Each structure stands twice: as structure tokens, then as C-alpha cells.
Amino acid sequence: MGEKDYKLGEIMITEDKIRERAAEIGRRISEDAGGEDVLLIGILKGAVMWMCDVIKHISVPVKIDFMAVSSYGASTKSSGVVRIFKDLDAAIEDKNVIIVEDIVDSGITLNYLKDSLKARKPKSLKICALLDKPAGRRTEIDIDYKGFTVDDVFIVGYGLDVNQQYRNLPYITSVVTD
């Protein structure tokens, strides 16, 4: 399969539950936007599947862009050092921006990213995350649109990976460490 096969736990969140929550959040984003355009910034690579599901339910004009940002590398723990691998293609000044993230764990990467994007003077800046793992938090971060709260385990599936594996799982599960 890959460099190393990992043992997976039970299904924690089904594909149906994820899609149902994405629809709810897409509708909330539309309501909150009050008819104004929104720009979704997907954080590569993990947020792609979640962003695709949310965007289907946004009824106001929407544009998308992507960034690649990490504090993990190939590790399962945040290093605390944030690196931007791909920046935005367009300016965000005076735009209603929503950062779309797969999981908020330590909060370090997202906090850095939020501060960096605030300096670019968007009209508004919100966060939409598929998963929130508050037990891993090392810095405070507010999530405006939250999919699900998860326990302090290493999560894979639905875009989330371990060493680039398991992104294609249609559900959320954990990697079992013995």
C-alpha cells in the first residue's frame, strides 16, 4: 500500500454525517454573508474534500483560492514552526474571507495564518473547520463554522492523512498506536 501501513480504528464520523454538516454550514455561511460575495481559502491538502462539500451549499457568489501551510511536515505532532508552501493567487483586501481547514489541533498554524491574512486587510475573516481537537490546543483560536469536535487521537480520512495515506477514505477514523 504505502511506505508503512497503519492500523485504523473504528469509523468515528460517517460520510453521511459529514455531508449533512457541510450542508448546514454552507447554508449558515450564506445567511451570514447577507448576499455579499465570499472567498473561501482552502488549506491544502487536507481541506479539499470538506471545502468541496461546503461550497455546494453556499448560495451567495463564491470564489476559491488555496494555500499550502504546515507545522507538521511528515510528523504526527506539530513542530511549532509554520511554513507557507503556496500563497494565494489574488489579493484579499476588502473581501469576505473564510479559511477552510481540515482540523484545528494545536492552533499554531491557523493562528499564524489568521494573523498573516488579517495584515492583508480583508473586509472580514472567519474560519471553517471540519474538525476541532481542543485537547491539542496550544494557542486560542475561534472557529466560526465547526463540523465536529474530536478526541485527542490522530485522525485520518476525508482528506486528512498520515504520511500522505488515507486521504481518500470517505469517513473519519483514527490511527491506532499500540
pLDDT tens readout for residues 86-123: 989 999 999 999 999 999 998 888 998 999 999 999 99
- The pLDDT of residue 1 is 42
pLDDT at residue 71 greater than cutoff 80: no
* CA nearest neighbour of 151 among 171, 134, 128: 134
Cα four-point dihedral sign 143, 149, 152, 155: negative
Low-confidence winner among 5-9, 76-80, 125-129 (lowest mean pLDDT): 76-80
How many percent of the chain have pLDDT more than 90? Answer: 77
Which residue numbers are catalytic?
105
Task: Tell me the per-residue pLDDT of 25-47, one tens digit each, with 9 for 90 and over.
Answer: 999 999 999 999 999 999 999 99
Does residue 136 or residue 169 have the better pLDDT?
169
DSSP 64-81: EEEEEEES-TTSSS--S-
How confident is residue 72, by pLDDT bands cut at 50, 70 and 90?
A: low
CATH no. for 15-152? 3.40.50.2020
Q: What is the pTM of this model?
A: 0.91
Q: What does the pLDDT average to over 9-14?
A: 97
Domain ranges of the chain: 15-152
Contact status, residue 25 vs residue 40, Cβ threshold 8 Å: no
DSSP 138-156: SS----SEEEEE--SS-EE
